[in-house]
Amino acid sequence: MSIDPQRLIKAATEVLTTEARAINDLIGRIDDHFVRASQRILDCNGHLIVTGMGKSGHIGHKIAATLASTGTPAFFVHPAEASHGDLGMIRSDDLLLALSNSGETEEVLKLLPVIKRLGIGLIAMTGDPESTLARHADIHLDTSVDQEACPLGLAPTASTSAQLALGDALAVALLDARGFTAEDFARSHPGGKLGRQLLLSIADVMHAGQDLPRVNQQASLAEAIVEMTRSRLGMCAVLDDDDNLAGVVTDGDLRRHVDELDDIRTLPVTRIMTVNPRTIAASELAARAVAIMQDHRIQGLLVTDDSGQLVGALNFQDLLQAGVV
Among 119, 146, 180, residue at a domain's last position:
180
Is the domain of 97 the same as that of 245?
no
pLDDT mean over 142-165? 90
**80 in a domain, yes or no?**
yes
CATH assignment of the domain containing 98: 3.40.50.10490
d(CA 146, CA 27): 15
**195 in a domain, yes or no?**
no
Is the domain of 137 the same as that of 231?
no
d(CA 180, CA 285): 18
Is the domain of 168 the same as that of 277?
no
Structural domain harbouring 25:
5-180
pLDDT mean over 123-139? 97
Which contiguous run of DSSP H or E holds residue 50? Answer: strand 48-52
pLDDT of res. 196 = 61
**190 in a domain, yes or no?**
no
**191 in a domain, yes or no?**
no
Is the domain of 222 the same as that of 116?
no
Is the domain of 11 the same as that of 152?
yes
**193 in a domain, yes or no?**
no
pLDDT band at 130 (very low <50, low <70, confident <90, very high): very high
How many Cβ atoms are within 10 Å of 301's Cβ, its own excluded? 28
Is the domain of 173 the same as that of 274?
no
pLDDT band at 6 (very low <50, low <70, confident <90, very high): very high
Question: CB neighbours of 34 closer than 8 A, spacing ≥ 6?
Answer: 141, 169, 170, 173
Q: Which residues pair with 314 in a beta bridge?
A: 301
Is the domain of 170 the same as that of 270?
no
Written as one string, the DSSP assignment of 171-222 is HHHHHHHHT--HHHHHHT--SHHHHHHHH-BHHHH-B-GGGS-EEETTSBHH
pLDDT of res. 96 = 96
Is the domain of 125 the same as that of 246?
no
In the sheet where 74-76 sits, what is the strand order? 74-76, 48-52, 95-100, 121-126, 139-142
CATH assignment of the domain containing 242: 3.10.580.10
Is the domain of 26 the same as that of 139?
yes
Is the domain of 250 the same as that of 299?
yes
**185 in a domain, yes or no?**
no
pLDDT in tens, 35-88: 999 999 999 999 999 999 999 999 999 999 999 988 899 999 999 887 666 677
Is the domain of 78 the same as that of 207?
no
pLDDT band at 120 (very low <50, low <70, confident <90, very high): very high
**264 in a domain, yes or no?**
yes
**196 in a domain, yes or no?**
no
Residue 74 DSSP SS3 = strand
Is the domain of 34 the same as that of 160?
yes
Nearest to 149 by CA among 158, 138, 140: 158
d(CA 28, CA 302): 52
The alpha carbon of residue 154 and the mean position of all alpha carbons in its chain are separated, in whole angstroms, by 34
Q: Which amino acid is located at 199 in the chain? A: L
Q: Determine phi and psi for 127, rounding to 5 degrees.
A: -100, 10
Among 146, 180, 214, residue at a domain's last position:
180
Question: CB neighbours of 94 closer than 8 A, spacing ≥ 6?
Answer: 44, 46, 47, 48, 49, 120
Total length of the chain: 325
The DSSP bridge pattern shows strands 121-126 and 74-76 to be unpaired
Number of domains in the chain: 2
pLDDT mean over 244-262? 82
